[in-house]
Amino acid sequence: MAEPRPAEPVRLFVGMLSAFVDAFDAAEAELVAQWGPVDLKSDPLPHEFTDYYRGEMGGPLLRRFMGFDRLVDPAGLAEIKRETNAIEQRLAATGRWPVARPVNLDPGYVTPAKLVLASCKDYTHRIYLGGGVYAETTLAYTGGRWQAHPWTYPDYRTAEYHAFFDRLREQLLAARKEVRRP
């Protein structure tokens, strides 16, 4: 019989969507206050994959990813999603931007084998974590590269995203190796 074991720590990241680069900066300040320093950040990337957010966020939208320095327990993903939602609400309440939702924050984590995203929307492939939050395995790392699933968002299938996730994965592997060193 298999014995339950604690999960190994994972690499937390947040994908941000916004039409306003200064909203990225404001969100980053709040995220850093919550989860510590960012040690990997993408340049803003055009996000032209959907018009889903245009009504509440304006456009054109940009995507930026941030990876956090410290590793986290994957069991905390639901709480992290609830906190990123609260950050979104606080930033919207400032009225600094001329849209209802100035930034969308999508937390997730990378393991050596997969990339997991949190969501507040249920679907056939999502698992309920509690507190109104679901998780999905968005990408699998097999055969030395990221592999999409039928439900993987179009933007998460791109080489630019995979390059960022490769770096997150490499940093995770290095951090785990460092922890195991006697």
* pLDDT for res 180: 60
pLDDT value of position 120: 95
For residue 110, is it within any domain? Answer: yes
Range of the domain at 98: 10-180
Per residue of the chain (182 residues), give pLDDT as tens: 889 999 999 999 999 999 999 999 999 999 999 999 999 999 999 998 888 888 999 999 999 999 999 999 999 999 999 999 999 999 999 999 999 999 999 999 999 999 999 999 999 999 999 999 999 999 999 999 999 999 999 999 999 999 999 999 999 999 988 766 55
In a domain, 5, yes or no: no
Q: How far is CA 143 from CA 109, 112, 140, 182, in A?
A: 20, 12, 10, 30
Query: In this structure, is residue 133 part of a structural domain?
Result: yes
State the pLDDT at residue 179. 63
Nearest Cα to Cα of residue 48 among 175, 145, 160: 160
In a domain, 160, yes or no: yes
- Calpha distance 120→104 (Å, rounded): 12
Residues 6+ apart with CB under 8 A from 16: 23, 24, 27, 28, 63, 64, 65, 66, 103, 104, 105, 106
User: Is 1 a member of any domain?
Assistant: no
Q: Is residue 22 part of a domain?
A: yes
Please tell me the total count of domains within the chain.
Answer: 1
4 located within any domain: no
What pLDDT shows up at residue 182? 54
Q: What is the pLDDT of residues 131-162, one digit of tens each?
A: 999 999 999 999 999 999 999 999 999 999 99
In a domain, 49, yes or no: yes
